[in-house]
Amino acid sequence: MKLNIITFAATALLIASGTVASAAEVVVTQKAKKFDQKKVTINKGDSIKFVNADSITHNIHSRGAGKFDLGAQKPNTAMTHVFAADGTFKIRCAIHPKMKLKVTVK
């Protein structure tokens, strides 16, 4: 019984802080025709917010399994993609393919 009370209290605390079952969001910034990270590891259901901090247009794109295209992204805007399935995703800017990001979804 004592254990159940502790569990209940801990669960209530987590719900109050909003951390139970809530998906995380990772921010990746595009600047100087580069991603600010080369690799990102997230959990299934998490999302990545792609920020275009450049003065030119970018286009987040991934080929292969789970492929997606976020379309043209103007400067000083953000676009978000939710990774609903696990796997490894090779992401590039379709316009500037030297921009590469590897996303691992567990």
Of residues 50-69, those binding other proteins (CB under 8 A): 55-57, 59, 61, 63, 67, 69
Position 80: which residue type? T
Q: Give dist(CA 21, CA 64) in Å, integer.
A: 29
With beta carbons less than 8 A apart as the criterion, state whether 90 and 27 touch: no
Of residues 83-102, those binding other proteins (CB under 8 A): 94-98
For residue 28, the cross-strand partners are 50
28 touches other proteins by CB under 8 A: no
CB atoms within 10 A of CB 36: 13
We find the least distance from the C-beta atom of residue 15 to other proteins, in angstroms, to be 40
Question: Which residues in this chain contact other proteins in the complex, by CB under 8 A?
Answer: 33, 55-57, 59, 61, 63, 67, 69, 71-72, 74-76, 94-98
